[in-house]
Amino acid sequence: MLHKNSEALHNLFPAVAPVPRHYQELIAWMQTMQPNNLPRYKDVTIDASVKTELNLLLSEIRRGNNSPGFLGPQYAHTIAPLNFMAKDGSPVKALIVGKQSRLVSFRETAVIENTLITNSCVNCHSFAAADQQRFQFHLRGPGRGTLVRSEGELTHIDTIIPGTVSACVYPHWHPSGSHIAYSVNNILQSFQNVPEKVIDVFDTWSDIVIYELKKQAVHIHPVLCDSTVLETFPAFSADGQTLYYTAAPFRNIAHVSVLDNIRYSLYSIPLNPGTNTVAPPAERLYPLSDPAGLSVSFPGPSPDGRSLMFTGSAYGNFTIWHDDADLWLMDLSTGKTEPTAALNSPDTESYHSWSSASKWVVFSSRRDDGRYTRLNLAHMNERGTFNKPFALPQKDPRSDLNLMQSYNLPEFVKGIISFYPQDIFRAKHIKAQEWKH
């Protein structure tokens, strides 16, 4: 197992560079809770802003639900390690784990491991309004399908229908929990031999559909399934009356050189979940012109309805492999859009998630070494700007730097996820119905 041989694998690579500054700051702060148990850096004192943010995080958690800026004591994320190749070219078995972490105690527990379910891939988890009792995730491989828990019931849904190119992929729950918007994608990978661009992931076809839990139906709307457009990454607004998504003109990708010219823009379209209708045409929000040189992915509206965060890069939409990818913030009342300078680094910033009070964000970044994805937290102050981010606190702050695994899809949730792998085999099986509009 890869995770059991991390130390041996580390010996195959050059020595790790000195501990990055923000990890030294985290260690310095941790000395207050674990004196004499961590290394001291003679030339480093903790940055005042980092100390303030970490103390604020703990105080909000300890006050619990009575805090006006309630974060929630739980935090869910997925750890997905990189794949390695043995000398003979065979793949080394990798572990994919869905985990949840208690920020206040550093305790982590596995929600599900793919080794328990015939090595199927577990991916794309999503929660309804940060509710740990309403969630979904996909299984790829044997036993494939989408596991949805809602109203205390777990269902295993086969979402492959004649009118779509694939099973459902990237999800986003309606705030009421009544619907889940999905993209359906034909996804390919391109492996290249240049150091700065080792791999690219792209869509040759993609649309957006909306699954209605009560009717067990996949709603297909022509405006969201346009053959001349690549639509993906749907996200409901805080009030549930608007659907945001990204889209790019369809291109026939005959060669990987075409990828550099595929740029996605942010769109919105009104919808009525009660009648399962949308009101075209869709509105292009950002960028407003094609030559802007920016491609948008992962639109994430804040739960208070004030802001929308997205990831911007030079092209494409699988930004975890783009070292130019940065986080951007849009003011939904004025339309003002700009990079979040406080959160960005010279390397990749990609997936992000808001806390339920819209006071915190967690995001994935490769700022430490450009290779592994790790998690950072940041607080939005009363001015509507972000304070300095800090690494996800760990009992030993050096552990992530020694972990040969990548974090992915971090999500805040309000409580402990109560789920057992055997629940999958007791889940009610459903075949989704196609509903064309």
Please give the pLDDT value at position 14: 38
DSSP state of 346: S
Per-residue pLDDT of the chain (437 residues; tens, 9 = 90+): 333 344 443 343 334 445 555 555 555 555 555 555 544 444 445 566 666 766 666 665 555 433 334 444 455 555 444 333 333 333 333 345 566 766 666 777 788 877 766 667 888 889 999 888 999 999 887 778 999 999 989 999 999 999 999 999 999 999 999 999 999 999 998 887 776 777 888 999 999 999 999 999 999 999 999 999 999 999 999 999 999 999 999 988 877 778 888 999 999 999 999 999 999 999 999 998 876 789 999 999 999 999 999 999 999 999 998 999 999 999 999 999 999 999 999 999 999 999 888 999 999 999 998 888 999 999 998 888 999 998 888 878 788 888 888 888 889 888 888 887 778 888 999 999 999 99
Helices 48-63 and 21-30: angle between axes, nearest 10 degrees: 50
Q: Is residue 251 domain-resident?
A: yes
Q: Do 339 and 326 meet the contact criterion of CB atoms below 8 Å apart?
A: yes
Q: Is residue 153 domain-resident?
A: yes
Contact partners, residue 388, CB within 8 Å, separation at least 6: 47, 49, 50, 53, 342, 378
Q: Is residue 15 domain-resident?
A: no
Position 56, amino acid? L
Q: Do 113 and 127 meet the contact criterion of CB atoms below 8 Å apart?
A: no
Q: Is residue 80 domain-resident?
A: yes
Q: What is the CA radius of gyration of the chain?
A: 21
| H, E, C per residue of 141-209 | CCCCEEEEEECCEEEEEECCCCCCCCCCCCEEECCCCCEEEEEEEEEEEEEEEECCEEEEEEEEEEEEE
Kindly report the CATH number assigned to the domain that includes residue 89. 2.120.10.30
Q: Do 99 and 78 meet the contact criterion of CB atoms below 8 Å apart?
A: yes
Q: Is residue 37 domain-resident?
A: no
Q: Do 138 and 131 meet the contact criterion of CB atoms below 8 Å apart?
A: no
Please give the pLDDT value at position 294: 94
Q: Do 171 and 164 meet the contact criterion of CB atoms below 8 Å apart?
A: no
* d(C-alpha 27, C-alpha 6), whole Å: 22
* d(C-alpha 95, C-alpha 108), whole Å: 16
Q: Do 411 and 98 meet the contact criterion of CB atoms below 8 Å apart?
A: no
- The residues pairing with 181 across neighbouring beta strands, listed in sequence order, are 172, 210
Q: Is residue 143 domain-resident?
A: yes
Q: Do 187 and 201 meet the contact criterion of CB atoms below 8 Å apart?
A: yes
How far is CA 319 from its chain centroid? 11
Please give the pLDDT value at position 68: 35
Q: Is residue 395 domain-resident?
A: yes
* d(C-alpha 271, C-alpha 234), whole Å: 13
Please give the pLDDT value at position 248: 96
Residue 393, CA atoms < 13 Å, CB-side half-sphere: 23
* d(C-alpha 201, C-alpha 171), whole Å: 18
Count: domains in the chain: 1
* d(C-alpha 114, C-alpha 96), whole Å: 6
Residue recorded with tokens 């690494």: 391
- Among 181, 296, 177, smallest CA distance to 236 is for 181
Q: Do 241 and 270 meet the contact criterion of CB atoms below 8 Å apart?
A: yes
Please give the pLDDT value at position 30: 57
DSSP state of 280: S
Q: Is residue 36 domain-resident?
A: no
- Residue 329's domain spans which residues? 68-436
Query: How many residues are recorded in the chain?
Result: 437
The pTM (predicted TM-score) of the whole model is: 0.83
Contact partners, residue 283, CB within 8 Å, separation at least 6: 267, 268, 269
